[in-house]
Amino acid sequence: MLHFRFSKPILLATLALTYSITCYATPSKADYKSFQPSPDQPYYFEDGKVDFGTYNGFRRYHADCHVCHGPAGLGSSYAPALLDSLKVMTWGDFVNVVISGREGRDNMIMPSFAKNVDIVTNLSDIYAYLKARADGVIGATRPAKFPKVKKLIADN
Amino acid sequence: MVTAKRKVLAICFTASAMLAAAGGVTANSELLKMQQNANDWVMPNGNYASTRYSELNQITAKNVKDLKVAWTFSTGVLRGHEGGPLVMGDVMYVHTPFPNKVFALDLNDDGRIIWKYEPRQDTSVIPVMCCDTVNRGLAYGDGKIIMSQADTTLVALDAKTGKKVWSVKNGDPSKGETSTAAPMVVKDKVYIGVSGGEFGVRGSLTAYSLKDGKQVWRGYSMGPDSDTLLDPQKTTHLGKPVGKDSGINTWKGDQWKIGGGATWGWYSYDPDENLVYYGSGNPSTWNPVQRPGDNRWSMTIFARDADTGMARWVYQMTPHDEWDYDGINEMILVDQKINGKMRKALVHFDRNGFGYTMDRVTGELLVAEKFDPAVNWATHVDMKTGRPQVVAKYSTHQNGEDVNSTGICPAALGTKDQQPASYSPRTGLFYVPTNHVCMDYEPFEVSYTAGQPYVGATLSMYPAPGGNNLGNFIAWDADKGKIVWSNEEPFSVWSGALSTAGDVVFYGTLEGYLKAVDAKSGKELYRFKTPSGIIGNVNTYMHNGKQYIAVLSGLGGWAGIGMAAGLTDPTAGLGAVGAYASLSNYTQLGGTLTVFTLPD
């Protein structure tokens, strides 16, 4: 079963046909164990450590996005620095671009990842990672992490 | 003298045209001769042996300091410019990355454009190219200029007019198959491979008819014997028959069908043995846990019969890759004394950090030594089995999924990537552009979707311990397996080297310098800063009695990805990131050809 850590109407609209999506309960932020990510609070950070989902976002980003967007969202010679993009982009904007793709100037192409299960199911984690980068909470290196928390909420 | 040379060339052209008309018997002998003419540069690595060595000796270790720019040419393309131009007589042929333009330039008129070719390609191919939309150059044969476009269209252009003679599709970009390699022409055939190891393609080398582009044979990197063109009895691995379906039985289930082993590097040819040599790339995915077994024949040197494609021998350098050490780097063919015995040798500097010397006739392994002391993932190569002895701590498989293995040297970029080395018969040394970069590597589960990235690992790269330099330019002794001299470079050296009879060695740097060093000592003799970082390969030619040096600059490629943003150092904490000065402080994008010569 595929699931997101959080969802939004736009995401549902784009993907409802393809994937079944888990929606989480009201966001909370007591500690990493009870942390529930949301578009407003996508990552958990304490004592220099991030929640496991945000860490997963780091590794997924570096598997599939960094070849164009550079290490740690710093940008490269042919795609923008997402570190800066996420200072202004919302979760909705973000999902839109990654799912639909976009063609910019000079053959600058952001591919559509709608068909990529590895990305679609980890998108909220990637967002959390990049948002933490954009907020200056974590640096360019591999972030330290809290252990994985078994999700208590059952899949829909 | 000049006119005489031009006449000879004109005759060559008519002669080949006549041969072609008579049934295309042997465009081959034409190219065999042409590659020996030092005045021209007729194939990407200078000659079939891929030595990137030139007999020209006007420019010498003494006078190279006086080198001046003769003329320049902008390609109008911003992406990474790998490869380099061909030169035949009065014409230079320059290619570009996507959209893959080709220009024929008039050397009698400071590079005025004689013709230009620009294909229409679907831009959807761009995102399926893992590491920038590079292209490593052109091939010439039988009056045609041949290019393998990003979308895998192999196209033959009339060398005189630029008009398309034929074209053929070698792969399917919607499945992640793309092209970055320079084709090679031997006799009446054109050879080309495929890119896409990060998209789960199945690599192959294909021979097409030079006359009309019809497919003649295709040898896959993995699969049943009928696909790999391996003979269970006659094809050998270190002297032993490979056995039946060796391209399947070291894979779990059907994983070989998306097994990688892309063939995106360089191709060499030995006319005496009639063998084509090349290497295959990483097995897919980068997560080794998902593909138990040796994953034959990824990471393998192939010696295939040029006419039939049947493999005489294979050698797998990195069985069951756990680090992305593609085996596609160039195969340099030299006749040298190895261990006191004259050998027809093949020398190969692999991504995995070992410099291999093999007998290219039999496939016997003669030397395998580290060409960067930083290499630590294996202690050594067992000379009996040919297997690298993997250090458990750096085994990303043994450490397992979701575990970050740290401090692995070299990084996935390899101690050397595709940037081709050079061999000078005058010094007997190999000149090798290298990376000096290490990595952390964490594999994790991925699922395969056709046309989508199929990576399954994340990695961070940083300079090897004990320094801040990300590259070295070294001289190598392939008999002893030892570094003779080594020059530190602040960034990876991602430019193909050239050595000449003037005892000068040329290479480019990521900051954009063209450098000339002394072939014997490595002492720097000259540098010039070109408009952008150099990931192209240096060449040389003679025109109107003068020797020229030419190089493409234009930052990009894999080097442009990691380095353009500045590398990360996980051990030194966040503050250190700035210490690795960002390459963008030195240079910007843009393709330019710069041509050098001595003042009159």
- Per-residue pLDDT tens for B310-359? 999 999 999 999 999 999 999 999 999 999 999 999 999 999 999 999 99
Closest residue of B to A109, CA-based?
B127
**B573: pLDDT strictly greater than 60:** no
Say whether A58 and B458 touch across the interface (CB within 8 A): yes
Domains parsed from chain A with CATH numbers: 55-147 (1.10.760.10)
Residues of A in contact with B461 (CB under 8 A): 71
Min Cα distance B198 → chain A (Å) is 10
Asked if A77 and B453 come within 8 Å (Cβ–Cβ), the reply is no
- Measure B121 CA to nearest chain A CA, in Å: 11
Specify whether the backbone of B429 is left (phi greater than 0), alpha (psi in -120 to 50) or beta: beta
Contact list, A141 vs chain B (CB under 8 Å): 460, 568-570, 573-574, 577
pLDDT at B293: 97
Among A65-69, B513-517, B546-550, the range scoring the smallest mean pLDDT is A65-69
Residue B28: pLDDT band by 50, 70, 90 thresholds?
low
pLDDT of residue B42: 98
Angle (CA) B476 B414 B587, round 5° = 95
- Low-confidence winner among A135-139, B251-255, B371-375 (lowest mean pLDDT): A135-139
CA distance B200 to B289: 15
The alpha carbon of residue B91 and the mean position of all alpha carbons in its chain are separated, in whole angstroms, by: 24
Count CB pairs under 8 A between chains A and B. 111
For B441, the closest chain A residue by CA position comes to A59
Catalytic residues of B: 324
User: Tokens in use for B96?
Assistant: 């570009």
| % of chain B surpassing 70 pLDDT | 90
Give Cα separations from A44 to A8, A40, A125, A126, B560 (angstroms).
19, 11, 11, 13, 33
Reported pTM? 0.89
Asked if residues B533 and B588 have their Cβ atoms less than 8 Å apart, the reply is no
| A115 to chain B, closest Cα gap in Å | 7
Task: Name the residue of chain A whose CA is nearest to B285's CA.
Answer: A63
Nearest beta carbon to residue B442 from set A59, A103, A119: A59
Inform me whether the pLDDT recorded for B266 exceeds 50: yes
Which domains does chain B show, CATH number per domain?
2-597 (2.140.10.10)
pLDDT at position A16 over 50: no
Angstrom distance (rounded) from CA B105 to CA B102: 10
Rounded to the nearest angstrom, the minimum Cα separation between B458 and chain A is 5
For residue A61, the chain B residue with the least C-alpha distance is B458
Query: Model ipTM?
Result: 0.71
Mean of the per-residue pLDDT values for chain B? 91
Q: What is the mean pLDDT of residues B51-68?
A: 98
pLDDT at B296 over 60: yes
pLDDT at B582: 62
Quote the pLDDT of residue A15. 40
Sheet holding B422-424, edge to edge: B422-424, B429-435, B471-477, B482-489
pLDDT digits (tens, 9 = 90+) for B240-249: 999 999 999 9
Collect all residues of chain B within an 8 Å Cβ-Cβ radius of residue A142: 404, 440, 460, 570
Which pLDDT value is given to residue B121? 87
Q: How many CB atoms lie within 10 A of CB A29?
A: 13
Please check the confidence at residue B8 and state whether its pLDDT lies above 70.
no
Mean pLDDT of chain A: 79
Residue with the larger pLDDT of the pair B237 and B1: B237
Cβ within 8 Å, pair B453-A110: no
**B446–A141 CB contact, under 8 Å:** no
More confident position, B237 or A1 = B237
- Pick the residue of A77, A121, A138, A145 with the most B CBs within 10 A to test the interface with B by mutation: A77
pLDDT higher than threshold 80 for residue B54:
yes
Q: Give me the mean pLDDT over the B448-457 stretch.
A: 89
Facing residue for A71 by CB, picked from B560, B568, B573: B568
